[in-house]
Amino acid sequence: MRVGLLTATAAAALSVTAGLTHAAHPGPDPTASCSWRGSAQRLVDSLTGVTDARAESLLSALTQLGIRPGDPSPDGCQSTGSTGNGGGGRSPEPGPSVVPPDTTVVFEADYETGDLSEWDTCQNREVNDSCSSYRGGDSASVVSGDVVGRLGQQIGRAGEQVGRVARFVVGPGDVPDFGGGERSEVAAHSEAALTREGDERWYEFSLRFGEDFPNPVEGDWFIVMQWHSGSGSPPLAIEISPEGTVDIAGDGVDHERKTIGPVRPGEWVDYTLHAGFSQDPAQGFVEAWENGVQTVERYARATMSSDENYLKMGIYRGNADSSTAEVWIDGPRVSAPSAGSSSGGSASSEATSDSSGSDDSSRDDSSRSSSTATSGAAGSGTEIDRTQER
């Protein structure tokens, strides 16, 4: 999106301009040089095509320094994660998607609507209501991808380019009026986003934690994604550990916690999670990828504690945390096996499990929608999760 681009990049322009000399004649610190180069490259990419005298002048100055639209990161800078003044580190160029081709997208939130209306319920200190009536605020909003270094990056198996992402913020005392922990979350209750016994799903999403993210976290828990039952703790969740790792967790069932990878403040990281849903620990399973590399092999575990799960994303944490946390989210895109496909399967002999003698069970996918569904509000004033979730 090009609307208001100069305003959105004003801070970045000042930061880059102040460091132009250093970028052209780097000193002994290569990380600092990479920082200026990365900021300048992002600015050049965002200004390209803007018909404005100020933008053209700045673009010309940066081009004279050898920073041209679409240039890759210079050698030695790819892994720094440096972001300049709020720019956001770029995730690696995506490789082939790990999601099988014989799947169908059943739910997706890409925020190109400019708001959070692709979700059903918004819950934070400001609101507990339908997302269609929430225009965004300090706790949750949709921002242009160029603000956090995400504009134009390719994601997902189809290689769509990112335009907008969601931003969630939680500070001390940010507890909604119904109680529980501190949170800023969105929830999807539509049929397409629900999972039931025997369902199989692929989840593609990207996370960027703020550069000053409190890592390790101070509170008892910090959840960014959860598959929730009607009450109690979620049976499956993506949780940040006190050691500063992104983990597959979920205190609603007995499980073995698995680490997907470290928290990387200031960087975009792409995740894929493949799950089979069941209350039976011999039939449910999870496996995960980070930036296209499998980091959690498929293992067996229960992934449900009731008849169905609904999906939530954002920030949900314990009240003991004294810091303000900021997380940007791109996605998720949720895919299910297409009718007649054989992708995935149950967590039988392929998965690591403490159970034995389990049989593969046929999966009843008849309840799944075969087309993308991103709305279906839960109703104005809908109040869910009024019991504490942990």
Q: Which of 325, 369, 273, 285 is nearest to 167 (CA)?
A: 325
pLDDT above 70 coverage of the chain, percent: 58
What does the alpha-carbon distance between residue 354 and residue 284 come to, in Å, rounded to a whole number? 12
- For each of the domains in the chain, give its residue range(s) and CATH number, in order of start: 1-87 (no CATH), 103-337 (2.60.120.200)
pLDDT band at 251 (very low <50, low <70, confident <90, very high): confident
Which residue, 226, 199, 149, 180, is CA-closest to 307? 199
* 208 Cβ contact list (under 8 Å, min separation 6): 88, 89, 148, 150, 165, 266, 267, 268, 269, 327, 328, 329, 330
pLDDT tens string 137-188: 999 999 987 666 555 554 443 345 568 899 999 999 999 988 889 999 999 9
Q: Which residues pair with 39 in a beta bridge?
A: none
* C-beta separation of 68 from 44 below 8 A: yes
Mean pLDDT across the chain: 74
**CB-neighbour burial class of residue 182 (10 A; exposed 0-12, middle 13-18, buried 19+):** buried
Distance in angstroms (rounded) separating the CA atoms of residues 144 and 115: 11
303 compared with 352, residue with greater pLDDT: 303
Residue 173, judged by CB atoms within 10 A of its CB (0-12, 13-18, 19+), counts as exposed
pTM: 0.67
Q: What is the pLDDT of residues 96-126, one digit of tens each?
A: 579 999 999 999 999 999 999 999 999 999 9
